[in-house]
Amino acid sequence: MSGIFFGIRNKRIYHKSFLGHINTGMSRWSRPGEDGPLFWIGNQPVYVTGVLIGAHSLVFVLTALGQALGFAPLLLELALSTRAVVEEGKIWQLFTYIWLHRLSYWFPLEMLMLYWFGQEVERNIGRQKYLLLYVSLAVVPALLVVAVSWLSPAWDIVISGSDTVHFALFVAFAALFPSAELLFGVNAKWFAITFVTIQSLILLAQHSLPGLLMEWSSLGIAIAFTRIPVPEISFGWIQNWFTKRLQTLRNKRQESSSKGPNESESIDAILDKIAKSGMGSLTKAEKEALERARMSLLKRNEKK
C-alpha cells in the first residue's frame, strides 16, 4: 500500500510505503487549507478521520462503562430498530447506531483500518465530500432497511456498529487506488473483491437479507463517491457550488502547468529551510505547499 512521507533526503521529497503521513514537526497548532488537515497538534496533522476515531473510541469507553453501571437499556436507544423508527419516529437512530459498538477485541483493528484507509480517502476527495460520504454510508443503507421493513412488517431488525461503514471506506480506498499494494504485494482491488465476496457468501448462508442490503448499498455509495463523475447540475446554489469548484481546479491546473519548475524550486527551498532551522520554522503557506506536493506525488505514483 502506498503512502507519502516528507523528509530530507538529498533535498527531495521521497516516498515511504504503507500509508505514511506528513511529519512537519510544527511546535504549535495551525490550520492549513480547506482540503488539508483540520489542524496540527505538535508535529501531528489531525484530519476529520482522526476526529472520528477519537469520537468512536470515546463512545466505546462510555458504552463499556454504561453497561457496567446498568445503563444498557438507555444505550439501546442509540441502536437502529426498524420498528422503533417506523412506529415511534425515533429517526435519530438512522445515524446514532454506528456509534453503539459491540465490545470486542476487534474494535482497535477497526479503528486502525479507519485511520489507514479513511485518511487517504479524505485527503484524495476533500474534507466536505468525505464528510458527506461518511454520513451517506451511515444513513442511506439504514433508510433502505427501514423502508423494506415498513413494506414487510415481518422484518424487525436491530442494528448497531460501524463496521459496514468503515469497510465501505476501505472499498472507496480500493476504488481510488486499485493498484496500491497491501500485504504480500497483492493489490487493493483484489483484497476488496475477496472480502466483499466472502462477506456476501456469509450473509447469504445466514439468510441475512438486511445485511446484504446494507453491505451492497454502502459499497455502491462508496464507489459512486470515488469513481463516478458528478453530473452537471442546472439549478440553484448546487450549480454555483460546482461551478466555483471546477473553476478553482482549472486555475490550479493552469498554475501548475505554468509554474511547475518554480514550485519544485520552492519545495527544495522549504526542505533546505527545514534542514537549517527545523520543522517549526515553516510558515502556514509553506505547510500548505508541502501538502499540495504530497498529494501531487501520490497521484503521480498511482498513475504508474
Q: Give all domains of the chain, ordered by start, each with its CATH number.
A: 2-46+254-303 (no CATH), 65-227 (1.20.1540.10)
Q: Tell me which of 51-60, 138-147, 158-167, 231-240 is least confident.
A: 231-240
**All residues at 6 or more sequence positions from 291 whose CB lies less than 8 Å from its CB, including other chains:** 22, 32, 33, 36, 37
Instruction: Please state which of the ranges 69-73, 154-158, 244-248, 263-267 shows the lowest mean pLDDT.
Output: 263-267
* Whole-number pLDDT of residue 168: 95
Cell triple for residue 109?
483493528
Q: Judge if pTM exceeds 0.75.
A: no
Q: What is the mean pLDDT of residues 107-129?
A: 91
Report the pLDDT value the prediction gives residue 23, as an integer from 0 to 100. Answer: 37
DSSP 8-state assignment for residue 80: E
Distance between CA atoms of residues 166 and 106, nearest Å: 13
pLDDT band, very low/low/confident/very high, at 269 (cuts 50, 70, 90): confident
Most confident of 73-87, 143-157, 271-285: 73-87
Q: Is the pLDDT confidence value at 21 over 50?
A: no
- pLDDT band at residue 180 under the 50/70/90 scheme: confident
pLDDT score at 280: 66
Q: State whether residue 18 is helix, strand or coil.
A: coil
pLDDT of residue 15: 35
Per-residue cell: 136 = 451517506
> Alpha-carbon distance 5 to 90, whole Å?
45
Eight-class DSSP state of 153: T
Mean of pLDDT values over 269-277: 71
Residue 226: pLDDT band (50, 70, 90) is confident
Separation CA 85–CA 162 (nearest Å)? 19
Amino acid at 86: V
**Nearest partner of 116 among 192, 170, 66, 48, judged by Cα:** 170
Nearest-angstrom CA–CA distance, 50 and 297: 23
Angle ∠(155,159,161) on CA atoms, nearest 5: 165
Contact criterion met (CB below 8 Å) for 290 and 30:
no
d(CA 220, CA 248): 28
CA distance 100 to 223: 26
Beta strands in 101-232 (DSSP E): 158-159
Beta bridge partners, 2, equal 17
